[in-house]
Amino acid sequence: MNRLFVLFMVFSFLDVSSQITVYENDISSVGDVVFQRAETPIPTLSVGSSGASQSWDFSTLSVGDSDSLLFINPSNTIYANQYPNSNLCLDDNGTLSYYNKTSNGLFILGLGDTVFQSPALFLPLPLTYGLNISDGPIVVIDTALTGPFIEAAIPSSTVSVLTNGLSNKADTALVKITNTTDFSVDAYGTMTTPLGTFDVLRVKMITYTNSELDVYCSDTVSGQGSWVTNVPFSSIPILANFSNNEVEYKYQWITNDPTVSFLICEAVVDMSD
């Protein structure tokens, strides 16, 4: 299976081996800086097996050029007023994501000026081997779009197809996106990277994203219009490469070592094991 590996770089070496538990205080806080590097694909690396006392050797990952992730105080950002419940903000090269870190989990509240309808669980806490939890379905986006953007995104030729020739203009689009994520701490052991060996928990995540699109279409001559519901993304030119129903499979290796980033490595794969 194809894999996207993201190595979260650290600057210390530690060689230990034991089953761990990850708590709220082990998660990054305001002021932390994390360096990451993405590589894809890497056919020689494997996410390995579930179970106790596993060993993952990712020492062949590169430690070259990397991107910086900055954990900052959300109250000092331009969208602070939209996130009164956020206590942690991640600045990824100018893209801001907002979180609420609690003893029960790390919750994502939104991206930039797009505030989620409900907080979505990003990582359950405390993390222990054998933990299984499901979050959702959570409505993260439920919004109406109008104006020139909709007319450009859904041109008259597409409207004509959607309405069997009865309309030629898209007036309003209703978008509803719902996420459900299953978390399973299915393995623990040690992970070796180019920067050291660390005790880790492996978290397997499966995220199901359901997107609903309804479009109100009208005829500019008669003024008549109607709703077209459950529009498939494949029928909209700018969405043709996406599906209304997506499934993402991801693995994360997480440590409680206080000298490093809690997230050591992440792998997005094209199917579950």
- Residue type at position 268: V
- Beta bridge partners, 134, equal 182
Number of helices (H), then strands (E), in the chain: 2, 14
pTM of the complete model = 0.87
Structure tokens belonging to residue 116: 């989620």
Is there a contact between 7 and 193 (Cβ–Cβ < 8 Å)?
yes
| Spatial contact of 202 and 131, defined as CB atoms under 8 Å apart | no
Q: How far apart are CA 4 and CA 2, in angstroms?
A: 7
Say what the pLDDT of residue 272 is.
Answer: 58
Instruction: Give per-residue pLDDT as tens, 230-267.
Output: 999 999 999 999 999 999 999 999 999 887 889 999 99
In a 13 Å sphere around the CA of 94, the CA atoms on its Cβ side amount to: 0
Low-confidence ranges of the chain (pLDDT < 70): 1-17, 40-43, 63-65, 272-273
Neighbours of 247 (CB within 10 A): 12
Token output for 56? 């993952």
By C-alpha distance, which of 81, 37, 83 is closest to 61? Answer: 37
